[in-house]
Amino acid sequence: MTSFRLLAFDEISRREIIEPQLTDKKVSEYFGIDVFDERQMRQYLPREVRRAVVDAIDDGRRIDRKVADQVALGMKTWAMERGATHYTHWFQPLNDSTAEKHDAFFEPVSGGGSFETFRGELLVQQEPDASAFPNGGLRNTFEARGYSAWDPSSPAFIVDKTLCIPSIFVAYTGEALDFKTPLLKSLAALDKAAVEVGQLFDREITKVVATLGWEQEYFLVDEALFRARPDLAQCGRTLMGHTAAKDQQLDDHYWGAIPHRVMNFMKEFEEQAYRLGIPLKTRHNEVAPSQFECAPMFEEANIAVDHNTLLMTVMRKTASRHKLRVLFHEKPYMGVNGSGKHCNWSLATNTGVNLLAPGKTPKTNIQFLTFFVCTLKAAAEHGSLMMASIATETNSHRLGGHEAPPSILSVFTGTTMDAALDFIERRVSHKKMSPDEKTEIKLDIGKIPEILLDNTDRNRTSPFAFTGNRFEFRATGSSSNCALPLIVINTAVAEALYDFKAEVDALIEKDVKKDEAILQVIRRYIAASKNIRFEGNGYSCEWAEEAARRGLRSVNNVPQAFREYLRPESVALFERFGVLTRTELTARYEIKNETFIKKAQIESRIIGDLATNHIIPTAIAYQNILIENIRGIKEVFPDEFESLAGEEMKTIHEMVEHVQFIRENTHNMIEARKKWNAVESLSERAMGYETEVRPYITAIREHIDKLELIVDDRLWPLPKYRELMSIA
């Protein structure tokens, strides 16, 4: 029997640490050098063309073919000067990855020779095979046509001598088959709603953009050890492995000194990120051994999402150069913290104002309160949909544990802000307020920046926490596309803002003064969202009971969570703002169920294979060694046999029980798979995998992990946790 473990250690023993080939320039000298941004457009496009592109981005208008031809020419010239030979539409299909088909700039000429070309029609639109990507029934195998279309709001960039053009991806029938299309629609809806509300306070507000600052957590593992673990290689997580004696319990890894080999990897992927215009700002050790984090500056949400998906690709490629592998799975190792992708969300205006940051005057603070309570209202109305947006098979291993946000959505505002909201709810009247009452309330509202300055804490147990000038959605999984939760948040907040404006206008029509009308609606929204506000421990059993009394639903069963997308309230929300149609939502529901099934199926097959072909034979081999030892004891010490061989006999008996359990339950797991694979309905099949197949994986693991503690370390075929989680 071949030991994966021994082969892995043999490779590691011959390894050299790779020093990255880094530029000696300052970051400011090469930041964005591989991006066709406004700086490059000024150099390679005529002024009127550049102006047309910028106006189209700002106003959401189409770019006509003549302008597209000129943009394509300038883009090709720039790219070829930087060594590019190919171009591709770079898009994000519904598989948590990116897609690209490379075409050469060169075209042959009749009679010999060739020339380089790139026309506007190639820039604007291409035709990938829409049936080959997840489509939820929107495309049949024989209906292959789909379209990728240029997104001018996200600048093109060069990777490996290929010009990458960020694009949307839609079916021939027009339905979205990607993350970017509904994200852009949700951003447009939010912009329109936020501008209308913003103009209640400042007529110069003409554009509002959602901003995003993501925090990407990840694990690193030596490449040789990674390849020696079929479960890591195929599933992204370990399906077996006993907890190491020392992991994170001493809190000595968090923010500790970064290992030299890891630092080399970080420096190299950061340099590539800077060249691609990704404004990385932070790097540090995370809580668990071999876990790390990077985070950029805030950016416009669409670009931030593109940058996050692009960086994940860059990190994977860079890691392989350093003989490492990046693990973006939310829970690669049992018993230690998993990885998330915290999404810090806010709103910024064309006037340079953060709408979720308290201002310096009562007027600006009433504006802040308006957008703040509308966000609370959105969370209260669509909290379960927000939690469903981050529900995946991989994230299910992390959510609900005492290391990550719980499965019930609540909003942490901070005790001081919580008290301020309660004060406003009490003081603002339904009836007409006297001038003195309005003045007193405004003066108190004006104190918000002062009281928040030193009295705002953070609550790590809250899925959606206000942290002073933004909301942090902590529940997103590290492998997920940031667009998923943003689509829900943007659309839900757009709804709250539209409703807010309508209610204020209705009061003004009844001769209520504008400022008083705004305060009255703020009061209503504070009351309407009170059930979602929670300042305590989101991990506690008491909170689960309290949340149930408040009418908040727990989203801890992944297939059930997917159903949130098809609830009438969810369909109405997305259709109201043209973000997703019922057909598109149904397709996504099918895709989510299918992905869940396939991932659970792969894990089941892998653990079955490892148990049958590696773990059980290893256990039997060790049993035979013990049996031979017992025979020797009996021959040498016949009179003392029972006392001397008692422990070995007990160990053999224990191993036999573990092996029998593993063997029987592996068979039962396979039968359960067959049973549910025969069920036609994807949603029913997903629920069957959740309730009947996945529990076998957990149960089999428990017995394998106990065998790991018994079997001779020299015989165990797989690298153990103490080895996987240590990077020399």
Q: Name residue 272's amino acid.
A: Q
207, 195 contact by CB (below 8 A): yes
Of 698, 697, 694, 719, nearest in space to 708 by CA: 719
Task: Check residue 580 and give left, alpha or beta (phi > 0: left; psi -120 to 50: alpha).
Answer: beta
pLDDT of residue 429: 64
pLDDT of residue 418: 86
Mean pLDDT in residue range 12-38: 85
pLDDT of residue 454: 45
Mean pLDDT in residue range 10-30: 80
Q: Which of 135 and 29 is assigned the larger pLDDT? A: 29
Residue 250 has pLDDT above 50, yes or no: yes
The overall average pLDDT reported for the chain is 89
Residue 135 has pLDDT above 90, yes or no: no
Supply 548's token pair. Answer: 């149930």
Q: Which of 61-70, 139-148, 589-598 is least confident?
A: 139-148
H/E stretch holding 380? helix 362-388
Largest CA distance in the chain: 105
Coil vs helix vs strand at 170 = strand
Between CA 666 and CA 513 the distance in angstroms is 71
Q: List pLDDT tens digits, range 410-429.
A: 999 887 788 888 888 887 76
pLDDT of residue 242: 93
pLDDT of residue 443: 55
Q: Which of 232 and 114 is assigned the larger pLDDT? A: 232
Task: Using a pLDDT cut of 90, give the percent of the chain over it.
Answer: 64
pLDDT of residue 661: 98
Between CA 344 and CA 435 the distance in angstroms is 38
Q: List pLDDT tens digits, range 373-406.
A: 999 999 999 999 999 999 999 998 887 665 666 7
Q: Which of 239 and 60 is assigned the larger pLDDT? A: 239
Mean pLDDT in residue range 213-238: 96
199, 191 contact by CB (below 8 A): no
Q: Name residue 627's amino acid.
A: I
Task: Using a pLDDT cut of 70, give the percent of the chain over it.
Answer: 91
Q: List pLDDT tens digits, range 455-511.
A: 455 666 788 999 889 999 998 999 999 999 999 999 999 999 999 999 999 999 999
pLDDT of residue 455: 47
Supply 105's token pair. Answer: 């700039």
Query: Cα–chain-centroid distance for residue 313?
Result: 14
**Tokens 């067959």 appear where?**
674
Query: Cα–chain-centroid distance for residue 22?
Result: 29
Cβ–Cβ contacts within 10 Å for residue 460, how many? 14
Mean pLDDT in residue range 690-695: 96
Between CA 471 and CA 212 the distance in angstroms is 10
Between CA 241 and CA 232 the distance in angstroms is 11
Residue 437 has pLDDT above 60, yes or no: no
Mean pLDDT in residue range 215-240: 96
DSSP string, 196-235: HHHTTT-TT---EEEEEEEEEEEEEEEHHHHHT-HHHHHH
Q: List pLDDT tens digits, range 170-213.
A: 988 889 999 999 999 999 999 999 999 999 999 999 999 999 99
Q: Which of 36 and 544 is assigned the larger pLDDT? A: 36
Mean pLDDT in residue range 594-620: 97
Cβ–Cβ contacts within 10 Å for residue 437, how many? 15
Between CA 221 and CA 227 the distance in angstroms is 10
146, 132 contact by CB (below 8 A): no
State the virtual CA torsion across 374, 375, 377, 383 in degrees, nearest 10: 160
pLDDT of residue 453: 47
pLDDT of residue 122: 84
Residue 103 has pLDDT above 80, yes or no: yes
